[in-house]
Amino acid sequence: MTRAALSTSLLAACFACATAFAAPPQQVDAPPPPGIDDPGVASDVAQAPPVGDEAAPAAKQAVEDPLAPLPKPDARLVRDKASRQAAANSERIAASDVTRRQQGDDTVEEYRENGRVWMIRIVRPTGPTQTFFANDGSGRLVRDPDEGPVSPVYFTLYEWN
């Protein structure tokens, strides 16, 4: 073969390969999306091997017993400052003398201990109950700090069963 014939055949082979690779791949239709109640397909992904000697027994136990019951949470009560104060106030309320009186539509409850007022509750027919405490011995009442600096009034606009 001559050099010209060899280069021509080589050039033809290159163009044939280029056109074969340049052809766009055929589009395949995607499957439809699963239905809402479709349970799905089981995963065929293998579990990753455990790392280190200590991880192997834990991973083996997790694979062998996936339905083992979880350990029970700690049953001790969490007693934060607010719950301790509420418990102390409930004991103090039970031990104090309560005077209830109507003032218009409102019910005013005065809680006394040794003849001194230490708490007043104003229960309104609409809106939240307001609570005032006598913290210092000055006779001035302050709002309950648990209610926050602002106590918005909520009205029921519409109610149904």
In the block, residue with structure tokens 């995607």:
30
Looking at residue 84, its pLDDT comes to: 65
Looking at residue 31, its pLDDT comes to: 84
Beta bridge partners of 122: 108, 130
Rounded Cα distance between 138 and 145, Å, is: 18
Looking at residue 45, its pLDDT comes to: 55
Looking at residue 132, its pLDDT comes to: 82
Q: Which ranges of the chain have pLDDT less than 70? A: 1, 3-7, 10-23, 42-66, 73-89, 136-139, 144-152
Looking at residue 26, its pLDDT comes to: 79
Contacts of 109 (CB under 8 A, 6+ apart): 98, 99, 100, 120, 121, 122, 123
Rounded Cα distance between 161 and 159, Å, is: 7
Looking at residue 105, its pLDDT comes to: 92
Looking at residue 128, its pLDDT comes to: 81
In this predicted model, what pLDDT tens digit does every residue of 118-143 receive, in sequence order?
Answer: 888 889 898 888 888 777 666 677 77
Looking at residue 38, its pLDDT comes to: 81
Contact 154, 127 (CB under 8 A): yes
Rounded Cα distance between 134 and 117, Å, is: 7
The ranges assigned to domains in the chain are 98-146
Q: Which phi and psi (to 5°) does residue 122 adopt?
A: -115, 115
